[in-house]
């Protein structure tokens, strides 16, 4: 899957709405129009992201590249990899691209054996622990 999907109950929406309303009140009281616009936009993004169901991702690890859906990533383009394995919830392959402006990749490995995957990838790419960013940690806490 494209990302892990955590269904939200009505309490989650009430909390997001209440926090958003509190910030809108603060924005009105402080005459901060930009904060109000930001809070409304962020609230809409949260709701849209929650209703978006993840797409299925197909990936193949081959002798020259990793194929994700229809896109190939040659091993020369990849700086390092890390397998984050915290069953049952987290099973993912993290790939750091050499391009500084490039997005790092996070691929759910689902039923793939992480030990076999690691052993195979070590033949082509160096293994390096990838720390989660603050944004990724907040996203997990919020259920994204």
Are 63 and 86 contained in the same domain?
yes
Question: In sequence order, what DSSP letters do the residues of the chain get, joined into one string?
Answer: --S------HHHHHHHHHHHHHHHHHHHHTT-HHHHHHHHHHHHHHHHHHHPPPPP--EEE-SSEEEETTEEEEGGGEEEEEEEEETTTEEEEEEEESSTTSPPEEEE-TTS-HHHHHHHHTTTSEE---PPPHHHHHHHHHT-
Residues 64 and 135 in one domain: yes
* Beta bridge pairs of residue 66: 61, 73
pLDDT of residue 2: 45
Stretch 106-122: mean pLDDT:
90
Tell me the average pLDDT of the chain. Answer: 83
How far is C-alpha 84 from the geometric centre of its chain's CA atoms? 13
Are residues 83 and 16 part of one domain? no
Question: Is residue 131 one of the residues assigned to a domain?
Answer: yes
Q: How many domains does the chain have?
A: 2
Cα radius of gyration (the chain):
19
| 135 and 68 share one domain | yes
85-99, 108-122, 130-144: which has the minimum mean pLDDT? 130-144
Task: Mark whether 15 and 47 lie in a shared domain.
Answer: yes
Question: For residue 65, what pLDDT is reported?
Answer: 93
pLDDT for position 110:
81
5 domain residue, yes or no: no
Task: Return the pLDDT at 131.
Answer: 79
* 88 cis-preceded (ω within 30 degrees of 0): yes
Q: Which residue has the higher pLDDT, 15 or 7?
A: 15
Please indicate, yes or no, whether residues 70 and 129 belong to a single structural domain of this protein: yes
Query: pLDDT at position 88, please?
Result: 75
CATH of the domain at 75: 2.40.50
Confidence of residue 1 (pLDDT cuts 50, 70, 90): very low
pLDDT above 90 coverage of the chain, percent: 29
Residue 3 phi, psi (nearest 5): -155, 160
**Residue-wise pLDDT tens digits, 44-96:** 887 787 777 767 778 889 999 999 888 899 999 998 999 988 877 778 899 98
What residue numbers bound the domain in which 70 lies? 59-142
- Asked whether residue 68 falls in the same domain as residue 136, the answer is yes
Predicted local distance difference test score (pLDDT) of residue 104:
80
**Is residue 36, in this structure, part of any structural domain at all?**
yes
Q: Specify whether 98 is located in the same domain as 135.
A: yes
């Amino acid at each position: 899957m494209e990302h892990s999907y955590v269904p939200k109950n009505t309490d989650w929406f009430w909390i997001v709405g209440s926090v958003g309303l509190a910030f809108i009140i603060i924005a009105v009281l402080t005459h901060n129009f930009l904060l109000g616009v930001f809070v409304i936009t962020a609230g809409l993004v949260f709701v849209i992201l929650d209703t978006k169901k993840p797409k299925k991702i197909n990936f193949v690890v081959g002798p020259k590249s990793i194929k994700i859906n229809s896109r190939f990533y040659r091993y020369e383009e990849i700086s390092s990899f890390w397998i984050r394995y915290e069953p049952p919830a987290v099973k993912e392959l993290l790939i750091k691209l050499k391009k500084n402006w490039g997005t790092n990749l996070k691929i759910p490995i689902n039923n793939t054996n992480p030990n076999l995957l690691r052993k195979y990838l070590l033949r082509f790419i160096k293994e390096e622990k990838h720390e989660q960013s603050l944004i990724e940690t907040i996203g997990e806490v919020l259920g994204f």
